[in-house]
Amino acid sequence: MKTQDVQEHFRVQVPDYPGLMRRLIPFYDQQRVLMRALIPFDRTTPLMVLDLGCGPGLMAAEILSEFPFSRVTLFDLTAEMIHVCKARLAGSDRATYRIGDFRTDDFGGGYDLIIASLSLHHLERAERPAFFRRVHESLLPSGHLIAAEVIVDESPEVRERQYELWQRFMIEQGEDGAAWYQKHLAKDHPIDISIDLGHVAFTGWLHSPRLFLALPQLRYHQRAPGRRLTGEWSRRRLNPERRR
């Protein structure tokens, strides 16, 4: 999606953003609890944190409160989101704000922790390897990335079922599930786990403790009839070249 389209999409959501997210995203608030629980640093560490696609700053506010010696850079493409962050964190001298595009703009370096919550599905697939390399370089050697991604199953049947469940969830919250689903298909770039691991491995992270991958989206597993889940089968799923 073009930069201006992303900005416009989120600009109109700003006034009731957290409410809307709770109606669209299952376990929206619990995801942040999980992501914070994954932060592998002592709460008194003076952390340097970057929140990529920070939205209205809910996560940044929680990190600043839970880690009283941390400093957080809030980075987002949508100026209106950054305005809301400034209002939310008014008076904090530990927050820094940057309006920019994480695909192309510099987001600094020397971070202990980079957070990306529900923002990386705006990257096109081809943009992911270079993006992950830049994130890797922006982290200190002991740094961590914690990302909540939009991950779909590789099986078309299972994916269809996941999407049905998601639409049902949105309808139960009073939203037009079908319309949001169509918007998602048109605008987002969800990935499956093989693609994600492929890019992470490409960056050189697979066996490094730097990556914590949070998968908080609803996942639904169905065993294919007559198929045994063997090591070989799993490896083939992780390496598309070997599927043939």
Q: Which residues bind ligand SAM (CB under 6 A)?
A: 6, 10, 21, 53-55, 58, 76-78, 81, 101-103, 117-119, 122
Could you tell me which residues are beta bridge partners of residue 52? 75
CB of 54 vs ligand SAM, minimal distance in Å: 5
Single out the residue of 79, 55, 51, 80 nearest to residue 63, CA to CA: 51
State the residue for tokens 């090591």. 231
Which residue is closest to ligand SAM by CB? Answer: 55
Shortest spacing between CB 217 and ligand SAM, in angstroms: 12
Identify which of residues 10 and 166 has a Cβ nearer to ligand SAM in the complex.
10
Q: Looking at beta carbons only, is 23 or 103 nearer to ligand SAM?
A: 103
| Closer by beta carbon to ligand SAM, 21 or else 215 | 21
Angle, helices 17-24 vs 28-37, to 10°: value is 90
DSSP annotation of 15: G
| Residue whose CB is less far from ligand SAM, 44 or 96 | 96
Laid out side by side, the sheet with 211-214 consists of 95-99, 71-76, 48-52, 111-117, 139-148, 211-214
Q: Using the minimum distance from each CB to ligand SAM, give the nearer residue, 30 or 222.
A: 30
CB atoms within 10 A of CB 86: 14
Residue 76 C-beta: closest distance to ligand SAM, Å: 5
Report the distance separating Cα 209 and Cα 207, nearest Å: 7
Structural tokens at position 184: 């998602």
Distance of closest approach, residue 55 Cβ to ligand SAM, in angstroms: 2
Kindly state the smallest distance separating residue 162's Cβ from ligand SAM, in Å: 18
